[in-house]
Amino acid sequence: MTSPDFLFTLLGVGALGAAVLPRLVARRPLSMPLVFLVCGMALQLLSVPLPEIDPVSDRVWVEHVTEICVIVSLMGAGLALNRPFGRRHWQGTWRQLGVTMPLSIAAMGLLAWWVLGWPPAAALLLAAVLAPTDPVLASEVRVGAPTDSEHDEDEVRFTLTSEAGLNDGLALPFVLGAGALAAAAASGGWSAGGIAHWVLLDVVYRCAVGVLAGLAVGALLGWLFFRAGWRVMRLSEHREGFVAIGATFLAYGVTELMHGYGFVAVFVTACRIRSAERAHGYHMVLHDFVEQVERLLTAVLLFLLGVFVAQGGLASLTWQGAVVGLLLLFVVRPLTGWVAQFRTAAGPRERAVIAFFGIRGIGSLFYLAYALGSHGFGVPAGELWAVVTLTVLASVVLHGVTASPVISRLDLLRLHRARASGAGPDPDEDEVASKRL
């Protein structure tokens, strides 16, 4: 049995490690999540007394802990983006959402049905669960802290960050569609009314509520933060970072109460707050606090994932399941991501990097736990968890090792190109970010 005192010790060491590791692994082929993942596996293999991790029997707490981590990371992503919202400025993002995501879901669903022999509902569930991307697990490929400039974000970091901010919510209609398909199969078949219900409720209504609620809550909070006439209510004057957590939970809770997509609402709320007063230093306070909470939650979850893997979490994995997961990372995402980025602002090298870094992470764990609480899908839950866990594990290792050298190389090439174009020996960030590779 695990001693509570030992758990307190682990939490203390983990919190300190989450503070120190990002600087220790900076510019190295490592990432903080990868280190915590390996530590969890190592401690379990060394027979250190750790709690048993079973996402099937402990589904409820897995769902809610991962849910909190995802919404906090979405708030952080939205607060960090400097680029104004728009059709042209976000062209790469729209392509990833409108082309890469549906093509990936279709390809993964067909692979799960053909290679694994799973029923359609389970195949669609796996595809939908693995659809969201998560650049939190490789911080080099996401935008940094908010700045005054609207043009200092390079195309790679901006596209990957904004894509992850929105596709976490947009995967939910497909997860719900998989549940509806499972229910229809159990009751005798799908009907035109069932399809219409899914389209109107799960796709149109819930997405619209997510966007509108996010805009409304973001506008209200933007006014409260920066423009409230009563100074004691103007929260930017007090520079309290925990307010960002309040904004996160408010946007998420209100939207879910209206049966909208809370993930979409949180990201939209963050972008709306960011646009309310772009040059204000309070954005840095909010962002820094959210990033610290996000880092701590990510460290805990990746450590537990490592423990789960070392305890035999992949015991139900078949070679076919491993092939399907790896095909997503090495074939499906790179091909669909590359196709989607044609004729966008990104250059050829940037398109390749955007296509490759489709990182899978905490969002996939949440969606699987969420879906398994409502329906049976004709496949053992342990096998579903094994395929998803392997994919996340492989993504953390692959992208965690490659992110720093790849992004550093792109940054260096942009710097050389800016200098060659006459910007001088020390070009500013806007000039460097604007160079296409």
| pLDDT tens digits, one per residue of 285-299 | 888 888 888 888 988
230-234, 312-316, 430-434: which is most confident: 312-316
Mean pLDDT of 272-288: 82
Residue 59 contacts residue 372 (beta carbons within 8 Å): yes
Q: What is the pLDDT of residue 432?
A: 62
At 159-208, the pLDDT tens digits run 888 888 888 888 999 998 888 888 877 776 666 667 787 888 888 999 99
Instruction: Please tell me the predicted confidence (pLDDT) of residue 113.
Output: 92
| Chain CA centroid to CA 327, Å | 20
Least confident of 109-118, 410-419, 421-430: 421-430
| Mean local confidence (pLDDT), 236-264 | 89
* Of residues 317, 313, 407, the one with CA closest to residue 126: 317
What mean pLDDT comes out for the span 344-364? 86
At 189 the pLDDT is 64
User: Which pLDDT score is estimated for 165?
Assistant: 85
Residue 423: pLDDT band (50, 70, 90) is low
Q: Residue range 113-139: average pLDDT? A: 87
Average pLDDT along the chain: 85
Q: Is the pLDDT of residue 435 over 70?
A: no
What is the arithmetic mean of pLDDT over 220-248?
80
Report the sign of the C-alpha dihedral through residues 272, 341, 137, 128, in that order.
positive
Please report the pLDDT score of residue 250 as a whole number.
94
Q: What is the pLDDT of residue 428?
A: 64
Largest separation between any pair of C-alpha atoms in the chain: 70
* Per-residue confidence (pLDDT) for residue 197, from 0 to 100: 79
- Assess whether pLDDT exceeds 70 at residue 264: yes
Give the chain as a 3 state SS string.
CCCHHHHHHHHHHHHHHHHHHHHHCCCCCCCHHHHHHHHHHHHHHCCCCCCCCCCCCCHHHHHHHHHHHHHHHHHHHHHHCCCCCCCCCCHHHHHHHHHHHHHHHHHHHHHHHHCCCCCHHHHHHHHHHCCCCCHHHCHHHCCCCCCCCCCCCCHHHHHHHHHHHHHHHHCHHHHHHHHHHHHHHHHCCCCHHHHHHHHHHHHHHHHHHHHHHHHHHHHHHHHHHHCCCCHHHCHHHCCCCCHHHHHHHHHHHHHHHCCCCHHHHHHHHHHHHHHHCCCCCHHHHHHHHHHHHHHHHHHHHHHHHHHHHHHHHCCCCCHHHHHHHHHHHHHHHHHHHHHHCCCCCCCHHHHHHHHHCCCCCHHHHHHHHHHHCCCCCCCCHHHHHHHHHHHHHHHHHHHHHHHHHHHHHHHHHHHHHHHHHHHCCCCCHHHHHCCCC
Model confidence over 76-97: pLDDT tens digits? Answer: 888 888 888 777 888 888 989 9
Task: Give the pLDDT score at 192.
Answer: 64
pLDDT at 248 over 90: yes
Tell which wins on pLDDT, 322 or 226: 322
User: What distance in Å separates the CA atoms of residue 327 and residue 109, rounded to the nearest whole number?
Assistant: 12
Confidence band, pLDDT 50/70/90 cuts, at residue 152 = low
In angstroms, rounded to a whole number, what is the distance separating the alpha carbons of residues 127 and 59? 20
pLDDT in tens, 62-73: 999 999 999 999
pLDDT of residue 322: 93
pLDDT of residue 199: 85
> What own/partner pairs with CB < 8 Å and gap ≥ 24 does 4-10 have?
6/49, 7/51
Q: What are the pLDDT digits (tens) for 12-49?
A: 887 887 788 777 777 777 788 888 888 889 988 887 78
Decide which of 58 and 411 is more confident. Answer: 58
State yes or no: pLDDT of 419 exceeds 90: no
Q: Is the pLDDT score of 104 beyond 90?
A: yes
369 pLDDT above the threshold of 90: yes
Span of 215-229, 329-343, 403-417, 418-432 with lowest mean pLDDT: 418-432
| Residue 426 pLDDT grade (very low, low, confident, very high; cuts 50, 70, 90) | low
Distance CA 109, CA 124 (A): 5
Specify the higher pLDDT residue, 214 or 419: 214
